[in-house]
Amino acid sequence: MPLLQISQLGHPILRQKARAVAQVSNPEIQTLIDDMIQTCADASGLGIAAPQVYQPLRLFILSSKPTPRYPTASSMAPMAMVNPTITERSEETEKDWEGCLSIPGLVGLVTRHKSVTVSFTNRFGEKADLFLEGLAARVFQHEYDHLDGIVFLDRADTKELYTDKEYQRKVREAAD
């Protein structure tokens, strides 16, 4: 499985609305899913959307695990979400830190719904519904935004942006 190149902020694909995946069982889609899982793991990401690997498709990987940026993240097996939708959002929101594989070096505070109920097709072509809360809900919403050409900077207050280096310093100070 080759690692895919990750599109960077400024590339027009990150601002396009992605199109629906017509046939999940297509071997090219299955290979793309495998390659996205590998690319996400290699980049220490919690998720990656198809537009981030130059594919304008409504598909992303959700893959939570502890990382240097998110040391308290829970572990879950990588999950492909094809043609996802949000069917319910909690009224309650929270502001927390986000970064993006397509915007290396920056993190920012972003307000998101604390929980979401979602529908999607899994990689086996089965429809699924899932209730997500906390970090998993945040990552879902972040990746879902990519499918509509939205990046986390669009939702962050520019006064609440940090470089990765300053964010890591802040995390270390909070742990001491």
Residues classed as catalytic: 143
Question: Which secondary structure element, helix H or strand E, spans residue 121, and what is its range?
Answer: strand 115-121
**What is the C-alpha to C-alpha distance for residues 49 and 144, in angstroms, rounded to an integer?**
8
- Which residues, including other chains, have CB under 8 Å from residue 36's CB and lie 6 or more apart? 4, 48, 50, 53, 59, 60, 61, 80
**What is the C-alpha to C-alpha distance for residues 9 and 170, in angstroms, rounded to an integer?**
25
Residue of 70, 87, 60 whose CA lies nearest to 145 = 60
Rg (CA), the chain: 16
Residue of 150, 121, 118, 114 whose CA lies nearest to 131 = 118
- Whether residue 99 contacts residue 164, with contact meaning beta carbons closer than 8 Å, is answered with yes
Residue of 161, 17, 19 whose CA lies nearest to 100 = 161
